[in-house]
Amino acid sequence: QHLNTKNLNFETASVEDKVTLLKTMQGAFSGVSRMHDLGIIHRDLKPENLLVMQGNKSVVTDFGISIKTPATASKIAYAGTPHYSAPETFRGTVSEKSDVWSCGMILQDACRPGGLLSHTAIDNSTSPRALMNKYSSMNTKEQKAFALQYAKDYPEPPKTQLMEHLIWSCTQLDP
C-alpha cells in the first residue's frame, strides 16, 4: 500500500503510530540516500511513490522521470508533483537536494497540522502551482531575494523540536 500521510495527526497520534510512521519514513529516506549513492535523482518523491510493505518496510517506486547525475549540470524541463517539488526544480535545476526537499515536504504533510499548505514556502502563495509559476519566472536576483525573505520567514527552530528541525533542514532554499 502507498504511504498514507492524510489520516495521521502527528500532534495527537499515539506513540505507537508515531514510531510506525517514523520507522517507515526512515526506511524510505534510506532508500533515497542509497539512490543518491548510485547517482540517481528521483525527481518525483511523494507519499504515493513510497510503498509500505509488510512489517512497515518501505520501498521507493516510480522511477519514470528519474535521472542519473551529471545530467544535473544542464537545465532540465520541470517534471514532478508541485506540492512536493523544490522551488529550484521549477526553473530546471535538479540535484540530490531536490529529493531532500521532497522528503521534508512528505514529513511536513504527515506531521504538521495543516499539512503541506502550512509550510512557509507555500502559505504565501495561493497554491504550490502558483509558487511554481512565480519562482520559475524570477531572474537570479529575484530568486536570491526570495530565498532571503524565506529564511527570515522560516527561521531555524530549536534543535529540541526534532521533527520541526528535520523538516526545516530538508526544506532550505538553494537559489
Report the C-alpha gap between 174 and 124 in whole angstroms. 18
Catalytic residue among 37, 44, 99, 123: 44
Residue whose entry in the numeric block shows the C-alpha cell 529529493: 99
Residue 44 a catalytic site member: yes
- The residue count of the chain comes to 175
Q: Which residues contact residue 85 at a Cβ distance below 8 angstroms, ignoring those fewer than 6 apart?
A: 78, 98, 101, 102, 128, 132
Would you please indicate which residues are annotated as catalytic (active-site) residues?
44
